């Protein structure tokens, strides 16, 4: 009986000691197992070529449109020698007007000029006769005066001689004025003929500049008039431009001469151009400005097309990070830098964004390591297992 009691006491004591031994063994195993850190993809700050550009859009339009109107009115249109789409040169005849009425007027003026020449000849003859009569009257008056002074002539004879001299002088003045009037009539006829010749030359409606015909309102048989629609519309030199609207904040970044890449609906290939003009005003309602982009000649481009364009501001090598490595709160940007396996939040300043990469202008150095993705799940001071971003991702 006593032996049984001792065996029972030993069994109870073993049962109390055994759990403590098992717990100690488990603790030792946990302490001997290394801690597992979260695997985080990281990337190094690197240099990259980033493009700084402004995206714009607008409509293709002529650089300069030229309206061709008739310089002679009231004449029927006899012939049209150009049509929409034609390329014309400066001085090329686009249309011809009727010359019938003007030709008749020229014949009348030619006859008037001949009459003026005849009147000049007649006036010159009259002037010669009047000059001769005046000279003779002066001599008679002089002789009569001499005789009167000698007492050999009466006062009546002297008065008659003086009156004849005055009359002859008057006829000479009249003949002189008549000749001047005849010459003036000739000059008038010459001026009228010159004007008529000018009108006849203007019955050929010519292109004032070289370019492409984009519109034709003239019709054969219609009466030419400068008060109605222009007979033809030309694009000077067939030059086109993109008139694009730009956000107010981007206007200061643009300058004439900057390179532009354009995309139009009818082509998948990019087209080239340059900024030609920056308009000086901003629309008070839309808060947008407008730039004009000269488009290189291309048969695809048509006036009125919609186009999108990228204006290249700069293309330079900068320190860059993937956009996923940068967090932003309000106007402050930050990234998680990894140093000796520990994360640290640092404030950075960013610049150009291009194709998923962001320029870092301050706050970090070349080859520094930062969290590439899932930065929101890493807190300042966390220990991580950095895994470099694969080359394919870069």
Return the pLDDT at 12.
Answer: 46
Place of tokens 């300058």: 255
Select from 315, 331, 355 the last residue of a domain.
315
Return the pLDDT at 34.
Answer: 54
Return the pLDDT at 25.
Answer: 53
Query: Domain check: are 270 and 223 in the same one?
Result: no
Return the pLDDT at 33.
Answer: 47
Q: What is the pLDDT of residues 307-360, one digit of tens each?
A: 999 999 888 888 998 888 888 877 788 888 888 888 888 888 888 888 888 989
Q: What Å distances lie between residue 19 and 8, 10, 25, 28, 30, CA to CA?
A: 18, 15, 10, 14, 17
Residue-range definition of the domain harbouring residue 341: 39-50+316-388
- 3-state DSSP assignment of residue 115: helix
Return the pLDDT at 351.
Answer: 86
Return the pLDDT at 16.
Answer: 54
Return the pLDDT at 324.
Answer: 87
Return the pLDDT at 141.
Answer: 80
Query: Domain check: are 156 and 303 in the same one?
Result: no
Query: Domain check: are 117 and 264 in the same one?
Result: no
Among 306, 239, 200, CA closest to 62: 239
Residue 58 lies in a domain: yes
Q: What is the pLDDT of residues 207-218, one digit of tens each?
A: 999 999 999 999
Residue 30 lies in a domain: no
CATH of the domain at 288: 2.40.30.170
CATH of the domain at 221: 2.40.50.100
Return the pLDDT at 201.
Answer: 92
Query: Domain check: are 355 and 372 in the same one?
Result: yes
- 3-state DSSP assignment of residue 300: coil
Q: Structurally, how many domains does the chain consist of? A: 4
Report the run of H or E that residue 140 belongs to, with start and end: helix 100-150
CA 130 to chain centre: 73
Query: Domain check: are 330 and 343 in the same one?
Result: yes
Q: What is the pLDDT of residues 279-302, one digit of tens each?
A: 999 999 999 999 999 998 888 888
Query: Domain check: are 43 and 120 in the same one?
Result: no
Residue 32 lies in a domain: no
Return the pLDDT at 364.
Answer: 87
Query: Domain check: are 216 and 299 in the same one?
Result: no
Q: Give pTM, 2 decimals.
A: 0.65
Query: Domain check: are 78 and 222 in the same one?
Result: yes
Residue 7 lies in a domain: no
Residue 123 lies in a domain: yes
Residue 24 lies in a domain: no
Residue 31 lies in a domain: no
What is the distance between the alpha carbons of residues 142 and 88, in angstroms, rounded to a whole number? 78
Return the pLDDT at 392.
Answer: 40
Query: Domain check: are 212 and 74 in the same one?
Result: yes
Query: Domain check: are 228 and 370 in the same one?
Result: no
Residues of the chain whose pLDDT is less than 70? 1-35, 374-376, 391-394
Residue 25 lies in a domain: no
């Amino acid at each position: 009986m006593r032996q049984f009691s001792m065996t029972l006491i030993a069994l109870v004591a073993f049962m109390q000691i055994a759990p403590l031994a098992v717990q100690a063994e488990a603790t030792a195993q946990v302490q001997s197992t290394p801690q597992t850190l979260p695997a985080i993809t990281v990337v190094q700050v690197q240099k990259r070529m980033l493009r700084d550009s402004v995206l714009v859009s607008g409509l293709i339009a002529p650089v300069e449109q030229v309206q061709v109107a008739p310089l002679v009115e009231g004449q029927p249109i006899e012939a049209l020698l150009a049509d929409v789409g034609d390329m014309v040169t400066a001085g090329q005849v686009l249309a011809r007007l009727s010359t019938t009425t003007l030709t008749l007027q020229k014949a009348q003026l030619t006859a008037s000029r001949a009459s003026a020449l005849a009147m000049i000849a007649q006036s010159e003859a009259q002037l010669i006769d009047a000059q001769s009569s005046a000279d003779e009257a002066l001599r008679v008056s002089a002789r009569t005066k001499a005789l009167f002074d000698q007492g050999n002539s009466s006062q009546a004879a002297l008065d008659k001689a003086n009156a004849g001299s005055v009359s002859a002088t008057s006829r000479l003045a009249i003949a002189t004025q008549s000749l001047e009037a005849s010459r003036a009539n000739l000059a008038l006829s010459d001026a009228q003929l010159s004007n008529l010749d000018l009108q006849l030359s203007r019955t050929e409606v010519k292109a004032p500049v070289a370019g492409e015909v984009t519109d034709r309102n003239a019709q054969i048989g219609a009466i030419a008039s400068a008060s109605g629609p222009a007979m033809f519309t030309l694009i000077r030199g067939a030059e086109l431009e993109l008139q694009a609207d730009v956000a107010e904040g981007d206007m200061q970044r643009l300058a004439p001469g900057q390179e532009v890449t354009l995309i139009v609906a009818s082509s998948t290939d990019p087209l080239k151009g340059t900024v030609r003009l920056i308009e000086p005003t901003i629309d008070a309602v839309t808060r947008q400005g407008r730039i004009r982009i000269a488009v290189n000649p291309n048969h695809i481009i048509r006036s009125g097309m919609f186009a999108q364009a990228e204006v290249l501001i700069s293309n330079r090598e900068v320190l860059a990070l993937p956009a996923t490595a940068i967090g932003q709160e309000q106007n402050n940007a930050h990234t998680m830098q990894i140093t000796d396996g520990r994360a640290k939040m640092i404030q950075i300043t960013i610049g150009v964004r291009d194709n998923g990469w962001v320029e870092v202008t301050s706050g970090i150095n070349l080859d520094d390591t930062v969290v590439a993705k899932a930065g929101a799940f890493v807190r300042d001071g966390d220990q991580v297992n950095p895994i470099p971003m694969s080359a394919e991702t870069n």
